[in-house]
């Protein structure tokens, strides 16, 4: 049975005109499985404004999952979609993509944005995007707990976000303690909405307690992990190339970005 091996308290961080709770990365822990970034935003009532301005990503996959509210995604591939509560926006950034997110004004917005690091051989794949609506996400009933399975496979169900390496991302709503069997090779963590990140020990199962939270993890991220703002690469050369590609417009454009 897994137990809590490390506790991390998310720190406030500015994102545009928002303040979010950032649980990953930290000085002591850069990843849990392939997950290298976790920002928790809301709940708050969205004010009129431009939303999250256009910005690039490369070397990662990006999942934005909404507990409440809705927002519009636009990107340099020409995609535009709207996702509501219980849905997700999934980007494989690969060699580079620019995107923007605009929440719906006047509604309560609450969600997370998480990044996974792409394996070294897939860092520079062609970018792609998929909108995942709430009804596409399977619900696994464990008897006393329901898991909305965004990514990974549990009890014969597979989440719609099929990530580049074996991983799990589940939204847990539990009324009682329930044991969950999990791949022993996975690193695993629980993120609670009060900003507490609990990194779990190794094991083949975890006892889920009553409450609402995220369970996530997977096979360890392939290193090295080098962060350069919105880019995560495996070498300084690739980080520098990503920045150059963005500045030269090789990741496309979105409302005049990059300049």
Residue 128 · residue 77 · CB < 8 Å: yes
Domain assignment present for residue 256? The answer is no
Residue 43 · residue 172 · CB < 8 Å: no
pLDDT band at 50 (very low <50, low <70, confident <90, very high): confident
Name the pTM for this structure: 0.96
Q: Looking at the 3D structure of the chain, how many domains does it have?
A: 1
Lowest mean pLDDT of 42-56, 114-128, 139-153, name the range.
Answer: 42-56
Domain assignment present for residue 149? The answer is yes
Mean pLDDT of 9-22: 88
Residue 30 · residue 73 · CB < 8 Å: no
Domain assignment present for residue 182? The answer is yes
Task: Provide the CATH number for the domain around residue 131.
Answer: 2.60.120.10
Residue-wise pLDDT for 93-114, tens only, equals: 999 999 999 888 899 999 999 9
Domain assignment present for residue 30? The answer is yes
Mean pLDDT of 159-165: 97
Domain assignment present for residue 254? The answer is no
pLDDT band at 52 (very low <50, low <70, confident <90, very high): confident
Nearest C-alpha neighbor of 248 from the set 233, 237, 259: 259
Strands 35-45 and 18-24: antiparallel
């Amino acid at each position: 049975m897994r137990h809590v091996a490390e506790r991390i308290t998310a720190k406030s961080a500015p994102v545009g005109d928002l303040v979010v709770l950032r649980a990953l990365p930290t000085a002591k822990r850069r990843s849990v499985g392939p997950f290298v970034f976790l920002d928790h935003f809301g709940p708050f009532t969205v004010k009129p404004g431009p939303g999250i301005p256009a910005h690039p990503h490369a070397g990662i996959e990006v999942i934005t999952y909404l507990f409440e509210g809705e927002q519009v995604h636009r990107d340099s591939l020409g995609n535009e979609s709207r996702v509501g509560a219980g849905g997700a926006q999934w980007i494989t950034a690969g060699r580079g993509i620019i995107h923007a997110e605009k929440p719906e004004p006047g509604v309560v917005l609450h969600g997370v944005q998480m990044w996974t690091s792409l394996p070294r051989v897939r860092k520079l794949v062609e970018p792609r995007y998929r909108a995942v609506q709430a009804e596409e996400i399977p619900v696994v009933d464990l008897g006393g707990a329901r898991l909305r399975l965004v990514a990974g496979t549990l009890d014969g169900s597979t989440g719609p976000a099929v990530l580049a390496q074996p991983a799990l991302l589940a939204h847990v709503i539990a009324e009682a303690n329930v044991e969950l069997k999990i791949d022993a090779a996975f690193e695993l963590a629980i993120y609670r909405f009060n900003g507490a990140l609990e990194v779990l020990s190794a094991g083949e199962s975890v006892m889920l307690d009553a409450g609402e939270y995220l369970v996530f993890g997977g096979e360890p991220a392939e290193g090295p992990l080098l962060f350069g703002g919105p880019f995560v690469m495996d070498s300084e050369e690739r980080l520098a190339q990503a920045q150059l590609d963005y500045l030269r417009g090789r990741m496309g454009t979105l409302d005049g970005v990059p300049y």
